[in-house]
Amino acid sequence: MKFALIGYGKMGRMIEEIARQRGHQIVCIIDVDNPEDFDSPAFRSADVAIEFTTPQAAYGNFLKAFARGVKVVSGSTGWKKDHEADVERLIAQGNTLFWASNFSLGVAIFSATSRYLAKLMNRFPNYDVSMEETHHIHKLDAPSGTAITLAEDIVARLDRKDHWEKGRVQAADGSISGRTDCPPDALRIDAIRRDEVPGIHTITYDSPEDCIRITHDAHSRRGFALGAVLAAEFTATHTGLLTTDDLFNF
């Protein structure tokens, strides 16, 4: 297959390596210094564009790719707040977007487990739920997009929570900000930025009697990159708004 890359940081380079190992062509690479290549014949020839950029750039990249008839796989987070309805309209017009806050197979399994556990815990109101995520010091957003997706899934299934709130944040320099006094109907997400941690997400259900804790701990970013390539392979033959649930059949 022919893939284009939008964004050529660490993740983009790893995606390129894995895609080539799997026999795919990288026909175009677009980064901040060559946006004019959206108009190139090479970009238009791509079966799928794989986009890993920033919350500010992602939606504009979708528009540029769709205008040129190219499907998109995106791992960018933060754009949904302002553009979720816009993207839904674009999909209704016949465009295709595979979006995930995390492409790891392990995270997909972890998410499915968390959704099931949240429904189960409706029967046990003495357990309060919270979340903690840890990432490398270069990650600017807190909480992470994966943590937000996990939290939204829990809130949708656990009757005693109706929203999530940002809790305590420990920055790379060790300074601490944020809050621990979120209201009872909020799911608190704490964030830690430390070293070169690829990503750790822990969901805790705590009661006066005991504690239930589930964790996903990524060993490297390679699992995310492989998942993005698998998503691109899937997207090439599917249409609409796609997710990891479609890819992994959860």
Residue among 42, 40, 79 at smallest CA distance from 61: 79
**Helix or strand or coil: residue 142?**
coil
Integer Cα distance of 202 and 200 in angstroms: 7
52 Cβ contact list (under 8 Å, min separation 6): 6, 7, 9, 11, 12, 15, 74, 75, 76, 228
> What residues act catalytically?
135, 139
Cα 38 from Cα 67, distance rounded (Å) = 10
> Could you tell me whether strands 200-206 and 128-135 are parallel, antiparallel, or unpaired per DSSP bridges?
antiparallel
Determine how many CB atoms are found less than 10 A away from the CB of residue 95. 21
